[in-house]
Structure 1
Amino acid sequence: MGHLKQVLENHILLYDELKTLLVTVEACVNSRPLIPLSSDSNDLSLLTPAHFLVGKPLCSFPVPDYTPLYINRLTNWQRTNQMYQNLWKHWSNEYLSTLQQCHKCAKDIHHQSQVR
């Protein structure tokens, strides 16, 4: 919720804009890979949370990067996408840093158990 609050700042969104933003974030979170669907290294299919929700992966179309543009030059749809892109950037930076810390901690624990 903190990332969403940070991205929204003082922006006032219409109901449809907020709904579009939240549904886009939901689709992104439910599209994250959990595990490969097969052991074949050539098969790039992944199991995602969306498989449990709708039985298949969610698909999305590429959207241009609106983050460097001034908000007053964007349409409502572009502004909503810009907010989503900013939210994704903040969340992914924080999430990736926690993964790196977890990997480092696991490596240290494994190393300590081998020394004993």
Structure 2
Amino acid sequence: MGAEVRFRDWCPCRETGLQNDLFVMGSVLFELSTRKPPYVGLEDQEVIRLYQAMKFPSADDLLLGKVITKCWMGSYKSADDLKSDMIMTFEQTRARKPRWLMGLFTLLCMLTSILAFLSQCNYVSK
């Protein structure tokens, strides 16, 4: 993974482990939603500077934009909290979105459940 997805030392308040994994999940969700990684086209040093300043690409117009932003800002205390937000977003948008998008969304919720399980089993990166 390049700096655009994961850079462990981007902020001194970040530790490896669950918060780092939730941050990466936000980047994965962003890339799945936009078909491009955060900060695509920028040099690694610029990406690191933006991470350190806690400036992230806008996710406001994305279906999971609030979820992505909360991942990046470290707002989730657990993978279960992330999963709950994703399910709530799914429920709110189910009637308005195409079926294929809901299938993708279901897959993302399953991946988040796996992350929650692994974090409880201490398999998440430390």
The normalised TM-score by structure 2 is: 0.29
- Asked which structure has the greater RCO (Cα within 8 Å, sep 6+), the reply is 2
Larger radius of gyration: 1
More helix by share: 1
